[in-house]
Amino acid sequence: MEQPAPHAIETGFRGKVAVVTGGATGLGRAIALEFGRLGCHVGFCFVDLPGRDVTEQALLTETALRAMGVEVFAAKCDVRDAKAVDRFMADVRSELGGLHILVNNAGIAVDGALWRMTDRAWKDVLETNVTGTFQCIRAVSNGFREQHYGKIVNVSAHQAERPGFGVANYAASKAGVIGLTRAAAVELGPSNVNVNAVAPGFIRTERMGMLPDEVIERAKKHSVLGRVAEPADVAKVISFLCSDDARHVTAQVLVVDGGLSLE
């Protein structure tokens, strides 16, 4: 029996549904707010972190989004847990009426010299940053293929190509995200799904506040623009990659580092 043709997806952002993993704080919050500003309904997930009340931050992000007049679904979800990911994506579809955009932002860093790095530090970073990204893409793939439409942006990092000291696990994970991005683009492209990545440099978030001042000053010095990124600088690039203007862009890695990688 011949399958019915998928319903045409309207152009523009308004009314579409965007999912942002790790969307309660930092860059993820900026991405969620950017899509809300553009008129998307937003689903985002988060996990509690040691020493931080992420649940409270998630509530603030949800409140800010609702003030924009869009619908929101927020829930705890550990992207390392495949069943939890499948459940979260299904809940987004049920609560918000669809799913059109996925931004894989959830990620962690546990830095240290590789000869002192524990198995746990290696596994946690790889499982969150790479396996978590894979599981989120897998969870939305069938829906995107059925509707013959989807936008996926994965957050890599400039350390994937230019790692510093003590980031072996993080650099490996973000390089893995780039490989996964290109492979997913190949497999999902025939279904009109664009898959790209962004590779930010230093971003002014809570995590950057934990770095020594000399590291931040060195980053500014080596950036040809003489500054570090604000979260919105990266969020707007991500929204561009999900826009109709980028309909013919896929399997690409857009570096957003202020020229840091030129050094």
Closest by alpha carbon to 13, among 74, 89, 101? 101
Q: Which two tokens stand for residue 99?
A: 């799913």
Place of tokens 């623009």: 225
- Active-site pick, 44, 73, 170, 202: 170
Residue matched to tokens 């020594």: 212
Sequence-distant (≥ 6) Cβ neighbours of residue 15 within 8 angstroms: 39, 40, 41
Tokens, residue 35: 């899509």
Q: What share of the chain is helix, strand, coil (3-state, %, to 5)?
A: 50, 15, 35
The C-alpha atoms of residue 247 and residue 240 are separated, in whole angstroms, by: 10
From the list 204, 207, 201, the residue with the least C-alpha distance to 256 is 201
> Which pair of structure tokens corresponds to residue 218?
């060195």
Residue 149 falls in the annotated catalytic set: no
By annotation, the residues acting in catalysis are 170
